Every structure is written in C-alpha cells, then in structure tokens.
Amino acid sequence: MWMTLRSDALTCSSTPCYDLDLGCGDGVFSFIHAGGRIDPAFDVFHSVGSAVGINGKRSDMFDHVDEHYEPVITRRPDEVIRTGTDLKPTLLAKACRLDLYQELVQRDLNEPLPFPDESFETVYCNMAYWVRHVDGLLAEMRRVTVSGGRVLLHVKLDAIRDCTLATRAGDLGAEFLDIIGRDRFDSWPTLADRSTWEHRFRHAGLNIEQAIPLATTTHAHLWDVGLRPIAPLLVRMANGLDPVERAGIKSEWVELFHTLAEPLCCRDLDLVAGGGTPVEMQYELRPG
C-alpha cells in the first residue's frame, strides 16, 4: 500500500524518473515504479534470513542474500537508473539481480557522496529520515544535482509517532506494544514536522517546487499493526510449502489483498477522527 502511494505520487512530479536512487535497498520499489514486472513465482520473501540476530536481538530478515534469490523478469523497466546506493551489501546484491541500475555503490549516507558536483539530473531518496546527519545529506544531494535538476524526496513526518497504540499502554501492556512496535522508530532519528523539513531544505540551498502529502494518519494506523508481528512466521510457513501449492495460495492472497488495498491507496484517505493529517510528504526540490 505504501509503495503504491509513493509510486503514484511520483507520477505527479515533473520528473517521475530518476538517475540517482539513494538508499535503494533491494531495488524492487524502483524496478516496479519504472514499469518492470517479475514472475509471480518469485517474491521478496523467497530468500530471507532470520528475524532474530545472533545476540537474540531483532534483526532485519531482508538483510540476507543467497543463490535462491532469482527474480525472473517478465518485463524490463521502461528506463534504467544510472546509480543506486545503499548501506547494506546484501541489498545491493539483490538489486544487482534486477538489472535495473547501471552502477551500484555501497555507501553510508551519513558520509559525503562519492560523486562529482552536478552529476545527476534527478536524485530520489525515500529514506532521508533514516540518516543521522540529514543536513549533510541534503547538502550533498544539492551538490551532486545539476543546476535546473530536481531532488525528489519522500519524507515521513513526526505526526506518525501518534499513530500507534502507545497511549493505550495501560490497557495493552508494554509487551504487547513492544511486539507491535519492533523498535521501528529507533531507525528514524531525523523524523520531523513539515516546518523543520522545509527549514532543512532552505538551509541546504534547495527550493521547494512542489509539496504533496502522500499518506495520512489513517494509513499510518493501518500500517501500525499490519502483519509485522507475524511476518517472520508467515514467511517461514510459506517457504515450507511446495512451489505449486505456494503459487496457488499466493494468487488467492494477492487477489484478496488487491481488493482490500485498492480503496486504501488514496493519498488523502481519512477514515478515523483526524485521520486526514499527512504523515508522509513528497517534496520536489530545485537547487537554488
């Protein structure tokens, strides 16, 4: 649902395609946004690691790659992307198998970008709020973007913090909230409100050309509980099935969720009191 909202919002910008994808992850979002398609026999859950690390702490099950990760491409994207970057080598190895990026670069975005000044027409990033030194990152985005080019950002707003069941801790208990939360806010050190983001952009020398809300507190409440707590179990169960049975169940699953999710994929969805407040924005920025 969230990826559809993002892809849909990008089509409203003046440049829905980009040549630098910062924090590209496994590249699947950009691949599908660019018109690529993958055979239904494959999905990103086929080859995942454990959701529990060696120290007993939670870990990212997607931070894993092996020989079973083989996306079968049924349609190539309309355009390739010149460069993708990410912190995690495993995700870059997966992105490489999509044949979408001409170049993949492992980089911590808290560090300067390894690209010359004014080397990209359009820079896209949907994870800037994951980066501690976000002011440095924004200044770097401005530096590597050509004059007259664009920086396209999807940034979460801190209103999303209020879209959890934390205020009901007395009824639900700390363990319940911990299982649902899975420490996700710890990954987002620079979540901020609109005025703080806009101040950051001005400070980095980036002018706002367009600002559109792309998700609301209603989406955030749906996503708060979602399938997160049972995802590792579902994935293990699905991967234990024989491929024919898995494909049959998956096809019914996809059809059901498509019907349920379609009416929710609307940028200003407002189904609960105060439910239309934006929690994620798309900014189209131009170097000043």
Applying CB under 6 A, the residues found at the interface with ligand SAM are: 23-25, 29, 86-88, 91, 107-110, 126-127, 130-131
Tokens 């996809």 belong to residue? 254
Please report how close the Cβ of residue 52 comes to ligand SAM at its closest, in angstroms: 19
Please report how close the Cβ of residue 88 comes to ligand SAM at its closest, in angstroms: 4
Nearer to ligand SAM, 62 or 201 (CB): 62
Report the C-alpha gap between 274 and 24 in whole angstroms.
Answer: 33
Nearer to ligand SAM, 87 or 192 (CB): 87
Report the C-alpha gap between 88 and 27 in whole angstroms.
Answer: 12
Residue 17's alpha-carbon distances to 67, 122, 207, 217, in angstroms, are: 30, 7, 19, 27
Please report how close the Cβ of residue 266 comes to ligand SAM at its closest, in angstroms: 20
Please report how close the Cβ of residue 162 comes to ligand SAM at its closest, in angstroms: 21
Nearer to ligand SAM, 49 or 275 (CB): 49
Query: Taking the mean position of all CA atoms in its chain, how far away is CA 215?
Result: 13
Q: Going by C-beta distance under 8 Å and a sequence separation of 6 or more, which residues neighbour residue 160?
A: 191, 217, 220, 279, 280
Q: Which residues is 105 bridged to in the sheet?
A: 85
Whether residue 236 contacts residue 184, with contact meaning beta carbons closer than 8 Å, is answered with no
Determine how many CB atoms are found less than 10 A away from the CB of residue 242.
Answer: 7
Of 174, 264, 252, which is closest to residue 221 (Cα–Cα)? 264
Report the C-alpha gap between 154 and 280 in whole angstroms.
Answer: 7
Distance, first Cα to last Cα, the chain: 34
Please report how close the Cβ of residue 32 comes to ligand SAM at its closest, in angstroms: 10
Please report how close the Cβ of residue 214 comes to ligand SAM at its closest, in angstroms: 13
Nearer to ligand SAM, 86 or 284 (CB): 86
Nearer to ligand SAM, 48 or 131 (CB): 131
Nearer to ligand SAM, 127 or 215 (CB): 127
Please report how close the Cβ of residue 2 comes to ligand SAM at its closest, in angstroms: 9
Nearer to ligand SAM, 113 or 159 (CB): 113
